[in-house]
Structures are given as structure tokens and as C-alpha cells.
Copies of this chain bind each other. A is one copy, B any other.
Amino acid sequence: MDLLSALSLGELALSFSRVPLFPVFDLSYFIVSILYLKYEPGAVELSRRHPMASWLCAMLHCFGSYILADLLLGEPLIDCFGNNSSILLASAVWYLVFFCPLDLFYKCVCFLPVKLIFVAMKEVVRVRKIAVGIHHAHHHYHHGWFVMIATGWVKGSGVALMSNFEQLLRGVWKPETNEILHMSFPTKASLYGAVLFTLQQTRWLPLSKASLIFVFTLFMVSCKVFLTATHSHSSPFDVLEGYVCPVLFGMAWGGDHHHDNHGPHSVTAFWRAHRIPAAAPARNLSIYIISSLKLHLDCERISSHVETRSFDQHFLSTCAPLYAGCCEATSWPEQLTAPCGQEGCSLC
């Protein structure tokens, strides 16, 4: 009986949500965070020549989420530095990662199976931080949906959202990019997680907080471990965003770096090449509604026609119906109006 009740999902989630994070999970968080710092170009030389700057960067990597959340909520930025044991633990990890004799610590920690365990434990901390951040924001702003989401987001994303300034500390300045423009998987996942936890906190999601922590942790751990193991930079949200963003915003959210590599046949390149006015994607929402009626009839016909010219599949599902529906328009792209040369083509 006892065993069974302990195995029930609710009990498991509850006891999981009560596991203390310090010191084991926090240690993993610090190790993985400082590992990512060491991967940055120039970080090793920086640690030799400017240990103080390197240590400060390491602290930002470990406690960036607290600093940003404190800034947003008007609390002392230095609050997290009041916790001596955490700072000392993070400092010890920093010293071992950068200055351990024979680089032994780094080599052990970078060994893939070991690293995957640490990465998994880091995600446990991340999810817990999001939940705590939203609880904290809810305490100050009872109906502040946006405040809760923002606080949860920065608690989950950590140093990534302030990477420009962390780089500046190291003497590096890359203004042309930032984490908001090119969101990585953890940043996006933290945002979606913050939305979910906010829904839970305001009772719109019929789930206990412990269960949500458990489920979201499982999702984050499996995703991050898979991505780390395969050295992949893709994201499981790409598919969902590929459907939603073109409808809402006329183009896939943050998906540009994938599409840009597709050569002249990608959606972006297509739009550029044909000088479709910038407002065009904005029409997608209305097009979507209108075309959903026609889609059933037209879609297959166009597909077979255009596929032979290797257009982006993406473009087909969202924009082609528009062109199918306005055959007489003068803005009809050349590539589509030119006869394809196939016999029996219903469009030529």
C-alpha cells in the first residue's frame, strides 16, 4: 500500500517539488553555467589575464536570473550575493573549471554522460526558478499577468537575456544580435513555461503547481538532454511556430536562421526577390480565413504544380492559396505564371 501510494503521480510530483535544490542541484546549475562560459571564445585567456572579470562573468552566469528579476521587481540587485554559501560554491566551481591542475575537473565534467546528468539537473533548477519567480511576482501583483510572465521568463532565461552586457564585461560587443532577436531553446521554453505557470497561478490551468512542475521538468529535461546529446540547435517549438507565426505575423518566429540557409527558394528570399510589399504578410490572417474555404479544392492542384519548382513547403500552405485565388492580379509572381511545361497541367 505504502509503495503504491508513493508511486501515485500526485504524491510523486509533490515529493519531487519538495526536494531541496541546495547543494546538489545548485552545484549542477553552476557547473553547466560556467561550462558554457568557458565555451565562449576568449574566456580562457580572460581568466588568465583578468581573473576578476572572469569571476564576475561567472557570477553573472550563475546568478543572472536573480539579478534581472531583482531589477524588474525593484529589489536590491545584490540580493543574491547575500547568500554566502551559494557564492562560495559558485566561486569554487569557477576556480575548478578554469584553474584545476591538469584541467582535470573540466575534462571530467565535459565527458558526455556526466555532462548530460548535470544538464538534466540544471533544468530541474530552471523550472523551479520559474515557478518561484511567478509565485513571488503574484505576491506583489495579484492580477499582473504580464508581470508574472516577465518575472518567470527572466528567472528561467538567466544570463541569456543580459548577454550583451555580460559580453561587454569581457570586452566583447556584438550589438547586431541579442537573445531577444535570436531566442535559444531555453529562453523560448522559459517564456512558454512562464505562461503556463502564470495560468496555473491564476487558476486558469486545472493542475496543481506540483504536477505542473513535474510535467514541465520532464519535458525540459528530455528536450535539453536530447539537444545536448545530439549537439542540435533546433527547437521542438519550431513546428508549432511554423504554423502559428505565419498566420499571426507573416513569418516564422525566430526561424529565420533556418530559412536563410535554404537558398533562393526559401520564403524570405522569395518575398524579397518579388518585392512583395512589406504589408503583404499582414494580410495572412484574413487570407487564412478566406482561403481555408478554398483550400480543400485548390491545395492539391497547386501543390503538385509548384512542388516541381522546389518552393518552400511553408510558403505553399500559407501563401499559395492567396495566389490561387487572385489569378488575374498583376502582382502574380513570374515563376508561377510562366508555363511549367508539364503536360496536362491545370494551371498553365
The interface of chain A, by Cβ under 8 A from chain B, is 44-45, 47-53, 56, 70-79, 81-82, 84, 87, 98-103, 106, 140-141, 143-147, 150-151, 164, 168-173, 175-178, 180-181, 183, 245, 248-251, 253-254, 256, 277-279, 281-283, 285-287
Q: Which residues of B contact A283 (CB under 8 A)?
A: 101-102
Closest 9 CB pairs of A and B: A173-B175, A103-B279, A74-B76, A82-B144, A99-B282, A101-B286, A81-B146, A72-B78, A51-B249
A-B contact pairs, 19 of them (CB 8 A): A48-B249, A50-B253, A51-B245, A53-B180, A72-B76, A72-B78, A74-B76, A74-B77, A78-B147, A82-B143, A84-B144, A84-B146, A99-B281, A99-B285, A101-B283, A101-B285, A103-B282, A169-B178, A171-B181
How many copies of this chain are found per oligomer?
A: 3
A212 to chain B, nearest CB (A): 22
In the docked arrangement, what's the CA distance between A24 and B171, Å?
Answer: 38
The answer to whether B73 touches A78, judged by C-beta atoms less than 8 angstroms apart, is yes
User: Chain B residue with minimal CB distance to A279?
Assistant: B103
B74, B102, B168, B181: which contacts A50 (Cβ < 8 A)? B181
Interface of A is mostly: helix
Q: Which residues of B contact A141 (CB under 8 A)?
A: 82
B72, B74, B76, B256: which contacts A140 (Cβ < 8 A)? B76
Given contacts A51-B249, A72-B77, A74-B74, contact A278 B181 (CB under 8 A): no
In the docked arrangement, what's the CA distance between A176 and B301, Å?
Answer: 55
In the docked arrangement, what's the CA distance between A143 and B143, Å?
Answer: 35
In the docked arrangement, what's the CA distance between A186 and B168, Å?
Answer: 22
Q: Which residues of B contact A175 (CB under 8 A)?
A: 168, 171-173
The answer to whether B84 touches A77, judged by C-beta atoms less than 8 angstroms apart, is no
The answer to whether A278 touches B180, judged by C-beta atoms less than 8 angstroms apart, is no
Given contacts A72-B76, A81-B144, A147-B78, contact A256 B49 (CB under 8 A): yes
B87, B102, B248: which contacts A99 (Cβ < 8 A)? B248
In the docked arrangement, what's the CA distance between A345 and B52, Å?
Answer: 42
The answer to whether A53 touches B101, judged by C-beta atoms less than 8 angstroms apart, is no
Q: Which residues of B contact A74 (CB under 8 A)?
A: 70, 74-77, 79
Q: Which residues of B contact A253 (CB under 8 A)?
A: 50-52
A147 to chain B, nearest CB (A): 5
The answer to whether A282 touches B144, judged by C-beta atoms less than 8 angstroms apart, is no
Q: Which residues of B contact A87 (CB under 8 A)?
A: 146
Q: Which residues of B contact A143 (CB under 8 A)?
A: 82, 84
In the docked arrangement, what's the CA distance between A44 and B183, Å?
Answer: 19
